[in-house]
Amino acid sequence: MTTAAGHGQADAGHHGLSFVRKYIFSTDHKIIGIQFLFMSLFFLLVGGLMAMMIRWQLGYPGQPLPGGGGLPETMAPGGVILPEFYNSLVTMHGTFMVFFAIMPLLVGVYANYLIPLKIGAPDMAFPRINMASFWIAFVAGLIMLAGFFVAGGHAAAGWTSYAPLSARPDLSGVHMGQVLWLVSLIVLGLSSILGALNYITTIINMRAPGMHWFRMPLSIWSLFITAILVLLAMPILSGALIMLLFDQTLGTSFFSPPEGGQPLLWQHLFWFFGHPEVYILILPAMGMVSDIIANGSRKPIFGYHSMVYAIAAIAFLGWLVWGHHMFQSGMNPMLGTTFMISTMVIAVPSAIKTFNWLGTLWRGNIRLHTPMLNALAFVSMFVIGGLSGIFMASTPVDIFIHDTYFIVAHIHYVLFGGSLFAIFAAIYFWYPKMFGRMMSERLGKVHFALTFVFYNLTFFPMHFLGMGGHMRRIYDPSEYEFMQGMQGTNTLISIAAFLLLASQAPFMWNFFWSLWKGAKAPDNPWEDNGLEWTVPSPPPHGNFAKTPTVYHGPYEFASPLVTEDYLPQSRPVPGAGGRAAS
């Protein structure tokens, strides 16, 4: 801890930094977190706009996209979306949302911003590597965007880029777009690996005195375990991407059968990365939601230790379930049974977490502030996404619903209903700390209510499309007789999706308006216990004037030892010195 304290004092003297060093090439973890926030919110909007174009084509097949007249002939002549552009949209919506929006929003933003502040450290262990991690991700984003402007269009083999379609330009019509897709993700992987190394090192070595492992907030536990998953999973993806890049450019054939390649190899590699990735996209959300639900309930988190063990169990089992994406792939069906059992088992720690959140609400004193509303939406929507996953996990049921809209509904209940509501909760909760201003609660609640309603109207009906057999990634469903009767549902979903995007206007207004006009934020607006709330909003470079000492767990709400209903981790109270008991 002495090195940490020494580092803090050294950094505290760095206030004379130029604008460029302070806000652009900054090594301050808080600025880097905020840079990630702006970048990934931009990509969230990009991904959202692509979803609107997809929904236009599905809601009103073959009709010119309003305002789409400006798109080039190769994408949408006269505003009518072409099949090849539709496939690019489907591919890039998934790619941007997974790799450039949800993942950096959770890991880039909140691991960076929260880890040092919540464990009582002045900065990350490797501030310059941290800066590199952001700028590498930024370059990856530019490369990914560039794919829209090359001949042949952007990658169009789905965000999972199944080979040989993704490996053979002669079969997909796409070469440069796919190459840029691959290069961008290889570059992004480097950024993620550097970030993960930093988070792990920081948490292991730079916790303030008294911040025992079992006094860490669940947000930090989940980010720590997520960082381990990133560190182990990303190199697998990078390896697979490099092999596919060789197939694309150097004439190798890892994944093309005529020369002895094996298409299923790509799927095994992709999903061996991809399933841990699914948990990378949800564990930090679970952790932050746990912090916010305890705060909103004014009550210690129920079953703190089992929450930690559940995160660890999910992370471990997450490595043993990748084959459930491949039940119908031609993989030996008996192997499918093994993967089904491990998949069924992984539902158990998720159930534990859900029940513990309910246990936290039970006999609480619940404050429904905007972060809490979004955290509760996370719980209620994650339940739907988790339960719908059981249908796909059951191998015989999966035969029918695999690659239908049922899985589209499922993934959006987990990633939008789950991760994105948690991200909204986190933005509303930590915004005052990040920017020193409060967001408007009234606009926040309007945004929450509209988003919750139109989100469900958009994604819930997709379950019924899936039950009807509606396949995914179909440019024009009316080609099939059995899907013609589903046009009404598709149009309804599209209208709800447009309104869902429109519902983000109050959020955007609130976010930017509050930057300048929001009420000044006090140090601890939510009366929380975390160390980040003991420093000014926003915290100065180096965070803590003096390295804090931690005396108890992070969830000492309603403690009988104090008159307030919260007890900051750094406030010594006789008798409350023990760790959060289970």
Partner 1 sequence: MQWLPPQASTYAGDIDFMFWVILVITGIAFVVVEAALLVFLIRYRHRPGRRAHYTHGNTTAEVIWTAVPAVTMIALGIWSGRVWAEIKDRDRMPTDAFEVAIEAKQFEWTVTYPGPDGVLGTSDDFAVRNQLHVPVNRPVKIHLTAEDVIHSFFVPEFRIKQDAVPGMTIPVWFEATAMGQFEIGCAELCGLGHYRMRGVVTVHADDDLDLWLSAQTADEEAGT
The secondary structure element, H or E, covering residue 178 is helix 176-205
Distance CA 508, CA 83 (A): 32
To partner 1, the closest distance from the beta carbon of 117 in angstroms equals: 24
First to last CA, the chain: 28
| Both structure tokens of 237 | 């993806």
Rounded CA separation 388/342 (Å): 16
Q: How far is the CB of 513 from partner 1 (least distance, A)?
A: 27
Binding segment toward partner 1, per CB under 8 A, in 212-220, 436-444, 509-517, 552-560: 552-560
Closest to 549 measured CA to CA, from 12, 9, 119, 202: 119
User: Would you give the binding string for partner 1 spanning residues 174-213, x where CB under 8 A is met?
Assistant: ----------------------------------------
**Binding characters for partner 1, 58-97, by CB under 8 A (x = yes):** -------------------------xx--x--x-------
Q: Strand pairing partners for 520?
A: 437
Q: Tell me, what amino acid is at 154?
A: H
Whether 551 contacts 571, CB under 8 Å: yes
523 binds partner 1 (CB under 8 A): no
Q: How far is the CB of 456 from partner 1 (least distance, A)?
A: 12
Q: Could you give the CA distance from residue 316 to residue 7 in angstroms, rounded to a whole number?
A: 34
- Of 116, 432, 549, 110, nearest to 290 by C-alpha is 110
Task: Single out the residue of 78, 212, 403, 442 in contact with partner 1 (rule: CB under 8 A).
Answer: 403
Say how many residues touch partner 1, by CB under 8 A.
Answer: 110
Chain positions 224 to 263 lying near partner 1, rule: CB under 8 A, are 256-258, 261-263
CA dist 328 and 397 (Å) reads 11
Angle at 236 between CA 231 and CA 242, to 5 degrees: 125
Q: Nearest approach, Cβ of 294 to partner 1 (angstroms)? A: 10
Q: Which is nearer to partner 1, 314 or 486 (CB)?
A: 486
Minimum distance from residue 542 beta carbon to partner 1 (Å): 34
Using the rule CB under 8 A, is 425 a contact of partner 1? no
Give me the least distance between CB of 342 and partner 1, in Å please.
9
Nearest distance, CB of residue 332 and partner 1, angstroms: 8
Q: Which of residues 114-173 bind partner 1 (CB under 8 A)?
A: 156-158, 162, 164-165, 168, 171-173
- By the rule CB under 8 A, 359 interacts with partner 1: yes
Nearer to partner 1, 39 or 51 (CB): 51
Torsions phi, psi for 580 (to 5 deg): -60, 110
Nearest CB to partner 1, comparing residues 22 and 473: 473
Return the C-alpha torsion angle 367, 368, 371, 373, nearest 10: 140
Q: Which is nearer to partner 1, 87 or 534 (CB)?
A: 87
Considering only residues 449 through 488, tell me which ones interact with partner 1, judged by CB under 8 A: 461, 464-465, 467-477, 479-482, 485-486
Q: CA-CA distance, 112 to 202, in Å (whole number)?
A: 10
Nearest residue (CB) to partner 1, 356 versus 534: 356
Query: Is residue 385 involved in binding partner 1 (CB under 8 A)?
Result: no
Structure tokens given for 137: 């991700």
Bin 427: left if φ > 0, else alpha if -120 < ψ < 50, else beta: alpha
Distance CA 47, CA 45 (A): 5
Facing residues of 404 across strands?
471
Beta carbon nearer to partner 1, 367 or 442: 367
Grouping H, G, I as helix, E, B as strand and the rest as coil, residue 164 is coil
Closest distance of CB 334 from partner 1, Å: 7
* Contacting partner 1 within 269-328 (CB under 8 A): 297-306, 328
Considering beta carbons, is residue 403 or 523 the nearer one to partner 1? 403
Please count the residues of the chain: 582
Helix (H, G, I), strand (E, B) or coil at 404: strand
Whole-number minimum distance, CB 362 to partner 1, in Å? 6
Which one, 179 or 206, has the nearer CB to partner 1?
179
Q: Does 335 bind partner 1 (CB under 8 A)?
A: no
Provide, rounded to whole angstroms, the least separation between the CB of residue 555 and partner 1.
8
Looking at the Cβ atoms of 201 and 394, the one nearer to partner 1 is 394
Least Å distance, CB 141 to partner 1, is 24
As given in the structure block, the two tokens for residue 426 are 């986190």
Minimum CB separation of residue 358 from partner 1 in Å reads: 5
What angle separates helix 112-119 from helix 421-435, to the nearest 10 degrees? 60
- Kindly state the tokens that stand for 329: 């792939």
Pairwise CA distance, residues 344 & 351, whole Å: 11
CB closer to partner 1 out of 292 and 474 = 474
